[in-house]
Amino acid sequence: MRFYLISFLFLISLNVQSIFDFQVNSDISNWYVVVDGVMGGKSTGNFQLNEDGHAVFTGTISLENNGGFSSVRYDMEKMEISDDKTVSIRLKGDGKNYQFRVKNNDQDYFSYIAEFTTNGEWQEVEINLKDMYPSFRGRKLDKPNFNHSHIDEVTFLIANKKNEEFQLLIDKIELK
């Protein structure tokens, strides 16, 4: 019976692909912050590892000068994926709403988006890739939902249309 349980757990682990697993010594040099300053806004963002090895995305959203967003992007190597994958993110937020975004080609002008709400505790957010819709600058595009065989970039973004401070801790991002 023990052999079957171990075999079953091994088969489950084969179906999990790690996008990023944050650790104390993780190299986060391919993660970069993009804020509304690119359009004249005054929001801020910071991304670093804490002493526990979790990524910490913090900052302040300002609506001044038509601003209102802060994001952190991971410029990753192209990752091949199979059909009907789910992104699983272990994180701890501050009770605010965030967006998780993916691109199948980092040169595309648009991203595929899913919104989620944090609850102030560690939680696992599950997002079906096929449910992610295409959007550009806050507008949903008249294109199909995500239906590609790879991803090339992931992003966390906050843009709740109000002045606020934020903090999002991220432990790991996986495809299941």
Q: Does residue 138 sit in helix, strand or coil? A: coil
Single-letter residue type at 94? D
Q: What is the distance between the alpha carbons of residues 116 and 109, in angstroms, rounded to a whole number? A: 22
Tens digit of each residue's pLDDT (9 = 90 or more) over 91-150:
999 999 999 999 999 899 999 999 999 999 999 999 999 999 999 988 999 999 999 999
What residue type is 169 in one-letter code? Answer: L
Concatenate the DSSP letters of all residues of 110-153 into one string: -EEEEEEE--SSEEEEEEEGGGPEEEETTEE-SSPPP--SEEEE
Inside any domain, residue 75? yes
In the prediction, which pLDDT does 83 show?
72
pLDDT digits (tens, 9 = 90+) for 150-175: 999 999 999 999 999 999 999 999 99
Which residue matches tokens 């560690």?
122
Query: Looking at residue 30, which CATH number applies to its domain?
Result: 2.60.120.430
Number of domains in the chain: 1
Q: Residue 4 domain-assigned?
A: no
- The DSSP code for 64 is G
pTM flag (> 0.85): yes
Its domain, for residue 41, covers 18-175
Percent of the chain, pLDDT > 90?
85
Instruction: Convert the pLDDT of each residue in 10-26 to its tens digit.
Output: 444 458 999 999 999 99
Determine, yes or no, domain membership for 155: yes
